[in-house]
Amino acid sequence: MTFSQFFAERMGRQPYEYQTQLAEAPIQDLALHVPTGAGKTAAVILAWLWHLTRGDGPRRLVYLLPMRALVEQTYSVAKRLAGTQASVYRMLGGEAEEGWESFPEHPAIIIGTMDLLLSRMLNRGFAMSRYRWPIPFALLNNDCLIACDEVQLMGNGLATTAQLAAWRAQYQTIFPVSTWWLSATLDPKWLSTPDHQVALDILRLNQADKDKGLQQRFTGYKAISSLNGANLSDAAYEQHEAGSLTLAMVNTVERAQKVFGELSKKAKSSGVEVLLAHSRFREAERTALFAKLGTPISAAGRIVVATQVLEAGVDLSAKLLVTEIAPWASLVQRFGRCNREGTTDGAKIVVLDLSEKDFPPYDCAGIEDSRQKLRELGSNAALAEIERVGLPDVPPPTHVIRRKDLFELFDTTPDLAGADLDISRFIRDQDDADVQVFWRVLPKSASSDYPDPSGQGTPSRRELCSVQIGKFREFLRDRAKGGVRAAWRWNSLDKVWEPLRESEAVPGQVYLLNGTAGGYTATLGWDAKSKVAVTEIEKSSEPPESYERENSSVWLKIQEHTDHVVADAESLAVTLGLAAADREALHLAARWHDRGKSHFVFQRALRAQDESGDWGKSPGGMQRYQRAHFRHELASALAILHSSCSIAAERKDLVAYLAAAHHGKVRGSIRSLPGEKTGRFRLARGVQDGDELPEVNLGGDVVAPSVVLSMELMELGQNENGDPGWAARVLGLLDEFGPFRLAYLEALLCVADRRASQREASNGHS
């Protein structure tokens, strides 16, 4: 089947020439420069699906978007186009939508914001358990086509996508990854970074497409004028026409809320529907809002007040657009929301200039560039005229991630102060970085006057609300002045919700808020001034993940579970087509990954039925470990590295690392954690010098001999025999395999273990 036939079957029309060119070229890094409304989303998705049918494309299409509002629309398009050929996932925060991680061999389209996707590509996944970071890090850096859409809105994140592309090429991946950068306003110079100096192929809209299928859209007239010192709500209301859609685009959430309030009062007697759209709503309210945007417009008409959330990708076409001045790239996107098809008579755009005090979040240079281009544009904002004006001036990134950061991020162990490397500056400008919050109605503590957050579960996706970090800190500061304890963070080591101080709030994290502290209304979204109690929605009872948490629901011997994991690992290796050496390492790691469960600390917590030491799982959960923070996978790794292990010496470091890392809790470093009391013996993660593991059957004719464990690997440098410590061994593996290949093998073992455990629980093995 040709691509034209494939496209027509899915879309009901023939493709534009650029769409055919995109699909028929080999999948490799490139830039796609086509105007808004020209079918970029369909072009990308169908090109990938076509390659998938031919067997020469990556298994995952990762669609990376600069704002949350674009995710739902792209998801709807992808679901329709993919049919049964690929699973489609939204990534909007929360744990529920991460199911794609369990099926690395299946075709999947993963759609999300750059905050969530880039943070996962950097091994610091926002809004997810830190112990699960390594899996999406591996899978999003292997076997993918990454489509970065609306790159002019990505800020620092654009440079990060370019740096990652360069590093994947340099350090190699097990399966290829390519990146497509897409925009209506794209200058290839934006993709030049310290490590990414490649001259990219640029695919542009050709003249044939402009003259034929896209002519009306490209030349459709949009009268444009400017106003100085005008009130936006007055301009929007006075020029609004009955029965039509008017968009009022505002640069900040606070001003949008103010304009919405003013327009709501003006429209009260006229019947004009007024809606507010910005990025600071919970998903529950935001979903309802976007459903309204798709309903028929009344006789009086509709005015939508919006921030950048409707700037790109959202399929709305207004007769009147009233917008505050903004950088040229943003204005071009906003102009694309007016007379989108080029068929509306009398379409017009009004640009309101601003005084310098109202420029933020934008800078003077960006506004001055727009003023100059508006003068050059004249009285018609048609796409053809905008193209004549030229590309915007985009400021260089304020922070660029470097190689040193990439390798530091590979280890997910917090530093000695319990903190992580802050990656938010590599994703967005610092003033634009977010946290996510959710509200719960908390009972009063029995021992104090403060609310009691104990027992609160992991938030569902629909509960989460994104809040700009600076605004969130102001909220905490204001509530603290009033003596209100408003926020808590989850401590996964101690398994408690801890009070959050203003200085401790960092971008990318999820925080629990007391509903009575306010901060949100269903009408306005995030509103720090509101002290009205916030209603909780879809409350989850699932406990947040902790360091010591173990999934255990049936009686199983170590041998039985190991056989299941080995079978799943083998199945993955064969289906994916792993190289022989990688397949062997994965097989050995699967066979030995639970060797450490024979440790007496694990057996006693398991409520083992006998003293054999070979039980791997039990129903009803586990008792508390008698040693804090015990990790059986560390004991497994130490046993693998012992001289009595039958694994070949040249494979031991890799197999030991994979076994140690399969729960995401023991990775690049080994040291004692808070609460571990060390005496004359070295102790870390509940494993101590001199601990003995008994002989145990690992299945597959492998019997692991008894072994006395040594914690020498905690030490830096080499021991007296010249053997390297754990950190040196992991660095050696990174030198040999690179971060992306090593993480991919680690992820496959994690997936095999997870699949086996889920199947055991559902089948009720005993």
Chain position carrying tokens 């979903």: 287
Q: Residue 93 has what pLDDT?
A: 62
Q: How confident is the model at residue 764 (pLDDT cuts 50, 70, 90)?
A: low
CA-wise closest residue to 263 among 247, 251, 286: 247
SS3 512: strand
Place 561 in a pLDDT band, splitting at 50, 70 and 90.
Answer: very high
Bridge partners (DSSP) of residue 65 are 113
Task: Identify the band that residue 232 occupies on the pLDDT scale cut at 50, 70 and 90.
Answer: very high
Q: What pLDDT sits at residue 185?
A: 80
Rg (CA), the chain: 28
Token pair for 677: 């009391």
Question: Residue ranges per domain, the chain?
Answer: 3-211, 221-381, 433-545, 556-763
Reported as a pLDDT band with limits 50, 70 and 90, residue 384 is: confident
Kindly state the average pLDDT of the residues 430-448.
Answer: 84
Q: What is the mean predicted confidence (pLDDT) over 244-248? A: 97
- Where is 109: in which H helix or E strand? strand 108-113
Nearest to 707 by CA among 699, 720, 718, 696: 696
- The whole-angstrom separation of Cα 181 and Cα 172 is 20
Q: What is the pLDDT of residue 96?
A: 45
Per CATH, 3-211 and 221-381 having the same topology is answered yes
What are the angstrom distances between the C-alpha of 727 and each of 16, 424, 666, 717? 54, 26, 11, 8
Closest by CA position to 86, among listed 67, 111, 116, 66: 111
Q: How far apart are CA 562 and CA 65, in angstroms?
A: 40
Q: Is 514 left (phi over 0), alpha (psi -120 to 50) or beta?
A: beta
| Sheet of 273-277, strand order | 223-227, 348-352, 320-324, 245-249, 302-306, 273-277
Query: 642-700, pLDDT tens digit by residue?
Result: 989 999 999 999 999 999 999 999 999 888 888 787 677 889 999 999 999 999 999 99
- Is cis: bond before 361, omega within 30 of 0? yes
- From the list 445, 693, 401, the residue with the least C-alpha distance to 558 is 693
Reply yes or no on whether the pLDDT at 714 is more than 80.
yes
DSSP assignment of 259-278, as one string?
HHHHHHHHTTTTT-EEEEE-
Q: Is the pLDDT assigned to residue 57 strictly greater than 70?
A: yes
d(CA 673, CA 415): 11
pLDDT tens across 500-516, in order?
A: 999 999 888 899 999 99
Q: Interhelix angle for 283-293 vs 69-82, to 10°?
A: 70
Q: What mean pLDDT do residues 531-540 have?
A: 86
Architecture of domain 3-211: 3-Layer(aba) Sandwich (3.40)
CA 235, CA 304: separation in Å to the nearest integer?
Answer: 13
In terms of pLDDT, which residue wins out, 223 or 555?
223
pTM (two decimals): 0.89
Confidence of residue 95 (pLDDT cuts 50, 70, 90): very low
Looking at domain 221-381, which CATH architecture does it have? 3-Layer(aba) Sandwich (3.40)
Using pLDDT thresholds of 50, 70 and 90, give the confidence band for residue 720: low
Q: Whole-number mean pLDDT of the chain?
A: 90
**How do residues 600-634 score in pLDDT, each as one tens digit?**
999 988 876 566 678 888 886 678 888 989 999 99
pLDDT (0 to 100) of residue 430 = 64
The residues, ordered by sequence, that sit 6+ positions from 191 with a Cβ below 8 Å of its Cβ are 31, 158, 162, 181, 200
pLDDT beyond 80 at 293:
yes
**pLDDT tier at 417 (50, 70, 90 boundaries)?**
low
pLDDT bracket for residue 416 (50, 70, 90): low
DSSP string across 339-405: STTS--TT-EEEEE---GGG-TTS-HHHHHHHHHHHHHHTTB--HHHHHHH-PPP-PPPS----HHH
> What strands lie across the sheet with 144-148, from one edge to the other?
87-91, 108-113, 60-65, 144-148, 177-183, 30-33, 201-204
Residue 716 — pLDDT band, cuts 50, 70, 90? confident
What's the pLDDT score for residue 458? Answer: 86
- Phi/psi of residue 133, nearest 5 degrees: -55, -45
Confidence at residue 184, expressed as pLDDT on a 0 to 100 scale: 81
Return all residues near 473 (Cβ < 8 A) that are at least 6 apart: 502, 505
Alpha-carbon distance 312 to 291, whole Å? 18
Q: Would you say the C-alpha torsion 446, 448, 454, 455 has a positive or negative sign?
A: positive
